[in-house]
Structure 1
Amino acid sequence: MDKKQSFNLNADFLGGFTSIFMKLVFIIIAVYLLILILNFLRDKFINQEATKKKDDISDLLIILNKLFYVSGFGFVIANIIQFLFSQIPVRHSNMASMNFRGEWEYLTFGIIIIFIGVGFKVGNKMLKKNSAE
């Protein structure tokens, strides 16, 4: 029987941790947009008095910056610990060997999202600089 392999878009890449992180980011953005819309509608129809305009996108950039920093360093540290555990020889034959992958995929993903977090921080600084002018 000839098996044909296709590109599966629903596959969990890197053990599923990156897909969990991306789902978390999308949920945070969706909830923030929902709160932003509700605040807009509240200000438009309920509180019709003039209030000071606040940069709402700045708060989202701060939240995403912190999320990407913490998660990025978490992925990096977890990959290093995982690699160190994979280097420990199993001396007891009656113990089941733990399957730790020593691959560096999480490390590269962590570094990438750290730089994305830096981009959010720079974007927030530019937004504050442009709004101050």
Structure 2
Amino acid sequence: MENQSFNLKTDLLQAQFPTMFKDFVFILLLFFAFLILVNLFKNIFTSSKQSPARDYIVLLLIILNKIFLFGGIGLIVANIIKNIFEEIYSSAAPKFSIAGAWEDLSFGIILLFVGIGLNKARKLILNQVTATNTREQQP
């Protein structure tokens, strides 16, 4: 029986980057939910001062915004480079046709728009907080 621990013949061009990105974001959300629960229980059992939940949500939106923007740009650039290399190595005379696997490119564009939406949501929450604070300070 052969036990192979490291496969040198893997094709890195066939990696499932959208699946890996989805798993990474899911793990990040679970970790952040765990941190929010730990802080909630800490506030309940040890401290009388409660920290507002919107601070955690704004921090989560900042982190997700950066991940989605960098992930989207990375997937777009990686897909373009991958298609160029596949076109070069597919035949002796590269013809650079547009036909190719552009799934990662479309997924990257979707991630960019989600990142922009997360940034707008963060700004909206911060604007509502400042508007509420200014109303509370007025006599």
TM range (shorter): 0.7 to 0.9
CA shift, 1:37, in A, is 0.6
Q: Distance in 1 between matches of 2:51 and 2:26?
A: 29
| Aligned residue runs from structure 1 range 7-86, under 5 A | 15-48=15-48, 50=49, 53=52, 55-86=55-86
Among 116, 119, 126, the alignment partner of 2:117 is 119
CA shift, 1:61, in A, is 0.3
Which stretches of structure 1, 4 residues or more, deviate above 6 A after TM superposition? none
Compare the two structures and name the one with the higher helix fraction: 2
- The answer for unaligned runs of 5 or more in structure 1 is 1-13, 92-100
Among 81, 106, 110, the alignment partner of 2:108 is 110
Normalising by structure 2, report the TM-score: 0.73
- The answer for unaligned runs of 5 or more in structure 2 is 1-13, 93-98, 132-139
Q: Is the 8 A contact 1:69 1:114 kept in 2?
A: yes
Q: Is the 8 A contact 1:79 1:102 kept in 2?
A: no
Aligned residues: CA RMSD: 1.9
Which residue in 2 is equivalent to 1:87? 87
120-129 or 50-59, larger mean C-alpha shift: 50-59
Distance 1:52 1:16, change over 3 A: closer
Q: Is the 8 A contact 1:64 1:117 kept in 2?
A: yes
Alignment partner of 1:55: what SS? helix
Q: Which amino acid is 1:55 matched to?
A: D
Deviation per residue, 1:26-45 (Å, 9 max, x gap): 11011001000100110110
Deviation per residue, 1:34-64 (Å, 9 max, x gap): 000100110110122x255362100000000
How many equivalent residue pairs? 110
Among 96, 111, 130, the alignment partner of 1:132 is 130
